[in-house]
Amino acid sequence: MAKTRGFHVNNTEKLDFLGIRDKNHSDRIKMSGARLLECVLNNSPLEIKYPDPNKTDENGKPIMVVDEEQSTLAQERATQLKKPLKSGFMQTMIGAHI
């Protein structure tokens, strides 16, 4: 059995509304609601990155750069999530599938 680090969200369907959409492809999610919640529960950094087409590493792969606007949006949603988590409301909202 593999060891898990921190909290992991199993049931993600109820968290889709929290996701951050990809700014280049609105039909895709850049950070899922489940990942956002996991970052909040594990106190992990919230950064959304995109490849910079003008910068590459020594292997020719694009260098990932932080998108400040979307990272700020993710941090704002994380702040909104922390309040109900402290009050216990989140367990009622998404069930015991965390």
- Has residue 44 been placed in a domain? yes
The answer to whether 37 and 15 are in contact (CB under 8 A) is: yes
The answer to whether 21 and 73 are in contact (CB under 8 A) is: no
Asked if residue 88 has pLDDT above 70, the reply is: no
Domains in the chain: how many in total?
Answer: 1
Domain hosting residue 37, numbered range: 13-92
The answer to whether 55 and 72 are in contact (CB under 8 A) is: no
- Has residue 4 been placed in a domain? no
Please provide the average confidence, as pLDDT, over all residues in the chain: 80
What is the percent of the chain with per-residue pLDDT over 90, rounded to a whole number? 30
- Has residue 50 been placed in a domain? yes
Residues in the chain: 98
pTM, full prediction: 0.66
Asked if residue 1 has pLDDT above 50, the reply is: no
The answer to whether 98 and 91 are in contact (CB under 8 A) is: yes
- Has residue 27 been placed in a domain? yes
- Has residue 5 been placed in a domain? no
- Has residue 70 been placed in a domain? yes
Structure tokens at 79: 């702040």
Asked if residue 3 has pLDDT above 60, the reply is: no
Neighbour count for residue 70 (Cβ, 10 Å): 20
- Has residue 2 been placed in a domain? no
Which contiguous run of DSSP H or E holds residue 63? strand 62-66
Structure tokens at 5: 């680090």
Mean pLDDT of the 71-98 span: 74
